[in-house]
Structure 1
Amino acid sequence: MPLSSQALPIARPVAGDATGNPPPKPLINLLRGWPAPSLLPVAQLQAATATLLTDPSIVVGSLQYGPDPGFQPLREQLAGYLSRTFAAYHAPNDVERICITGGASQNAACVLQSFTDPSYTVCVWMSAPCYFLMCPIFEDAGFAGRLRAVPEDDQGTDLEALERGFQEFATSPPSGPTLKSHLSPQRKAYRHIVYVVPTSSNPSGVTMSVVRRERLVRLARKYDALLIADDVYDFLQWDVSPADVDADPVVQQSHVALPPPLPRLVDVDRMLPRDDDESGEGGDRFGNAISNGSFSKIVAPGLRTGWVEATPAFAYGLAQTGSTKSGGAPSQFSAATISVLMRTGELDRSLREVVRPALQRRHRLLIQAYEKHLSPFLELGCGGFPTSASPVRTVFGGYFVWLKLRRPDMSAAVVAKRALARENLVIAGGPLFEVKGDEASARFDDRIRLCFSWEDEAKLEEGVERLGRVLRNWDEPCEADTAPTGAGDFK
């Protein structure tokens, strides 16, 4: 069973023992990047499936094998929804740019099957710190030992470092005869793969600047790279203002509108005119960036449904992946259920009135707890409150905050061990987010990631307070320093 799907162990309070020792503390997990159960739209899904199963016009199609690109009504609804959301960037309402997937992770595997060739594709470049569960997906596709870390700053991926990496392989020929000659003309193999989370990156929370997005697309065109952009948090953004510092965390806004979004990399790739030397082999047809979307964070992970937006040629080629054609489109019934949510407006209503308000409030609770208990020991990377007295607003989103240890003699790995041993608290130490096989290029043992989406709100401050105690008592000896954390059991 994969670690990410294991059930969370439950610590049950028991009476103190005969020696008078207090009962163990309940487990608090600030590692798990799942939506809280209270954010799952159970009633809306019940209504949607009831509608679906009683509508003779769509019930059979939802229960049968589907067309290769996915459930057509959902493709149409997504094309319209994305066109409206990204209207400032002239996103077209074009169903041919949409391919339904089995979620962002499953789709990454399909992209690698259809648009890479381990004998031709040189490397997978990962913005670091990275979403660590992507590493096994790339390894399974034949790139074990060829994952490369690209450092990140507060504007996003370091493009100078990325180009230096590209240039190392600019003159090297392919390692051998192609393994996938069958890909043409519906698909192609790219020379490089670049994996990024441009908006509210996991784990750092950094959002890539528009200028850097444009430069990244230019680089991808120049070196025949495909940008796989996990756009899973674009709809989970909210305003943060100075007023939030003193806001009552119990009071929840009735609705939270989505702030004006930045252009996705796929928008940039579509809008930027190509120079003659940027066309490449099929570059203008297949493009150099895709938007890898998912309903896991905005509806429910168990639906295992997502989408890709790309050029029509890329979307069609992706739909020709063997496992997709054999299965008759992934997640057909789930896709049909989500299409009902979109058609009735329930998806947008849930995001506006439940999910974004809850995440905004949880983020505020965590930051207030950080300022109270952790600020002497940890530096907040991004996502804090504006410090100016002016009415400046900023935008934050996603599930995580990324913190840096202030004391150089502290180790995130040891902090995680002590937190579990002393406080029954699970946190994510920075080494978890190093690129597998290239850890030396970007080390993070001075970093900690805290998730505010999973635990109940009452446990968020308690978890931060427990972590504060670990750090305050750092100089006390602890036998847990050499014990394994078992943190993998809590993902």
Structure 2
Amino acid sequence: MVAIEYFYRYFYLSGELLEFIKTFQKNDIVFRIYKHMLIMKSDLPKLLLDIKEGIIDLGWGHPSARLHPLEKIKQSTLSMLGYDHAESLQYGASQGYGPFIETLARFLSQQKGYSNNKIFSNQLFITSGASQAIDFICTLFTVAGDTVLVENPTYFVVEGMLKSHKLNITGVNCNENGLDIDDLEHKLKLGLKPKFLYTIPTFHNPTGTTMPSQNRERLVSLANKYNFYIVADEVYQFIYFNEPPPTSLLDYDTQGKVISLGSFSKILAPGLRLGWIYSNPKLIKTFTDSPLAFSGGGLNHFTSTIVNELIGMNLLESHIHELQNEYLHRATVMDDALKQYFNNSIEYIFPKGGYYFWIKFINKLDTSKFLKIAEEFGVSFRPGNFFTHTSDYDSFLRLTYTLYEPNDLVEGVKRLSKVFVNGHNLR
């Protein structure tokens, strides 16, 4: 609205408003829409991101807006519209836009650290992102009362989605290698019969850990033995810094137990609302044959045509490299600031990729209380109990280094340290 108001004032004050109006008066409908735009106001939010003024909020797991490839998206959109006059605006195919699926299969097959196998188009289903895919899996593969497993801790929004489907949730412990396979096996031997396990095997949210190859093999073996699906949220697979992580869990799957989720939110832009499911062709057919996919004409057809063009123009791979370099720089800046301002008061492992630092205070303190005081100092984060229903992580917090510029990251850590050194009673 600020831009519109400025636009109005410019034409009014410069005496050019009458000439501008005459142009639109030739089309009464357009003119009335224009007048409405000048006066309309909205109190509704524009973005999910909601940060109080003056706060450096290191809790949001969002990419940096400055790094969104706006010009590349403009270029690919104009290129696509230059030859595709109507197809992109029609109902799409249930599985997704065919040319895009083929392009995506080739792209994923060529990416270091994604899969050791050639990926085929019948292994992919286009989604509106990982969150929508999780909800879709719950709809197609579960009924109310089923048991599902999640890591403890885990991405906090997932539990809300599972509960909305009236599913029973059981936590499985994590360790320095991600999901604790021994704890999982113990629970299964006691008779637990899950419909599926939700895991973030690569650059885990919130802990940042990555599951080693041998653990991935054991996990899939347990899924085969105890007959449950693995929903692998692999949206951080491409955000690695120096060495690529172990490949997708699907590389270890021979019996159709793994459903891998990918997303362009982390490697392109979240507003595109575009992602994919990578799985066994029989499971892909379950998604493709669903009433939702058929009636909706696929998911996010128009955006698929744009990203198809973008990949075809070789614009995506270079952008991913830019993200890897920039996020490594920001993680290094945050690491230096944490060492400078917290000395030996905290423990953490420098991330090898992803979005997060998972920080433990050596002398136990309640990070929920820490959060309330921290906001008074102009900084925020996500406390450990955000990601669990136990008290195991009360002394932990998660910091994100992707949203803010390096100078702001340093200032945010500095503000956090002021709360800590001022000796507030946080235990």
Which of residues 138, 143, 149 in structure 2 aligns to 1:112? 138
**SS at 2:165's partner residue?**
helix
Partner of 1:313: 282
Partner of 2:120: 94
2:113–2:238 Cα contact (<8 Å) kept: no
The offset of 1:87, in angstroms, is 8.2
| Residue type of the alignment partner of 1:228 | V
**Taking structure 2 as the reference length, what is the TM-score of the superposition?**
0.86
Change (3 A) 1:457 1:235: same
Partner of 1:376: 344
2:76–2:309 Cα contact (<8 Å) kept: yes
Which of residues 250, 267, 290 in structure 1 aligns to 2:251? 267
Structure 1 unmatched ranges of 5 or more: 12-25, 173-190, 240-258, 271-283, 385-395, 483-491
**SS at 1:106's partner residue?**
helix
State whether structure 2 residue 120 is matched by structure 1 residue 136.
no
- 1:46 and 1:37 map into 2 onto residues whose CA distance is 15
Partner of 2:357: 401
1:448-491 deviations in Å (ceiling 9; x for gaps): 1000011122100000011111111124x6xxx79xxxxxxxxx
The offset of 1:61, in angstroms, is 2.2
The offset of 1:309, in angstroms, is 0.7
Partner of 2:206: 203
Partner of 2:302: 333
The offset of 1:210, in angstroms, is 0.6
Partner of 2:28: none
Residues 82-231 of structure 1 mapped to structure 2, 5 A cutoff: 82-85=108-111, 90-118=116-144, 121=146, 123-143=147-167, 146-169=168-191, 191-231=194-234
1:415-458 deviations in Å (ceiling 9; x for gaps): 1111012x111111000001xxxx23x62101010000111221
1:365-399 deviations in Å (ceiling 9; x for gaps): 0001111012332111x226xxxxxxxxxxx1111
| Residue type of the alignment partner of 1:316 | K
**SS at 1:308's partner residue?**
strand
1:106-155 deviations in Å (ceiling 9; x for gaps): 01111111122335x3x111112100011111111221xx1111111111
367-376 or 207-216: bigger deviation: 367-376
Which of residues 57, 72, 75 in structure 1 aligns to 2:98? 72
Which of residues 291, 300, 314 in structure 2 aligns to 1:322? 291
Partner of 1:474: 423
- 2:151 and 2:111 map into 1 onto residues whose CA distance is 26
The offset of 1:84, in angstroms, is 1.9
| Residue type of the alignment partner of 1:330 | L
1:289-314 deviations in Å (ceiling 9; x for gaps): 12100000101111111001101111
**SS at 2:260's partner residue?**
strand
Report % sequence identity: 29
The offset of 1:83, in angstroms, is 1.6
- 1:139 and 1:2 map into 2 onto residues whose CA distance is 27
- 1:29 and 1:209 map into 2 onto residues whose CA distance is 32
1:82–1:91 Cα contact (<8 Å) kept: no
1:399–1:451 Cα contact (<8 Å) kept: yes
- 2:115 and 2:88 map into 1 onto residues whose CA distance is 33
Change (3 A) 1:37 1:55: same
2:114–2:238 Cα contact (<8 Å) kept: no
| Residue type of the alignment partner of 2:220 | V
The offset of 1:10, in angstroms, is 4.8
The offset of 1:3, in angstroms, is 11
**SS at 2:374's partner residue?**
helix
Partner of 1:52: 80
1:110–1:321 Cα contact (<8 Å) kept: no
- 1:452 and 1:208 map into 2 onto residues whose CA distance is 22
The offset of 1:88, in angstroms, is 9.1
| Residue type of the alignment partner of 2:350 | G
1:379–1:404 Cα contact (<8 Å) kept: yes
Structure 2 unmatched ranges of 5 or more: 1-42
| Residue type of the alignment partner of 1:401 | F
Between the two proteins, the alignment pairs up a number of residues equal to 385
State whether structure 2 residue 388 is matched by structure 1 residue 450.
no
- 1:465 and 1:325 map into 2 onto residues whose CA distance is 52
- 1:147 and 1:5 map into 2 onto residues whose CA distance is 30
Change (3 A) 1:205 1:9: closer
Residues 245-284 of structure 1 mapped to structure 2, 5 A cutoff: 259-270=243-254, 284=255
State whether structure 2 residue 67 is matched by structure 1 residue 39.
yes
CA RMSD of aligned residues (A): 2.2
2:235–2:266 Cα contact (<8 Å) kept: yes
Which structure's residues are more often helix, by fraction?
A: 2
**SS at 1:291's partner residue?**
strand
**Taking structure 1 as the reference length, what is the TM-score of the superposition?**
0.75
- 1:30 and 1:124 map into 2 onto residues whose CA distance is 30
The offset of 1:324, in angstroms, is 1.7
Residues 358-373 of structure 1 mapped to structure 2, 5 A cutoff: 358-373=326-341
State whether structure 2 residue 375 is matched by structure 1 residue 414.
no
1:141-181 deviations in Å (ceiling 9; x for gaps): 221xx1111111111211121122223335x8xxxxxxxxx
1:101–1:308 Cα contact (<8 Å) kept: yes
- 1:47 and 1:70 map into 2 onto residues whose CA distance is 22
Change (3 A) 1:3 1:322: farther
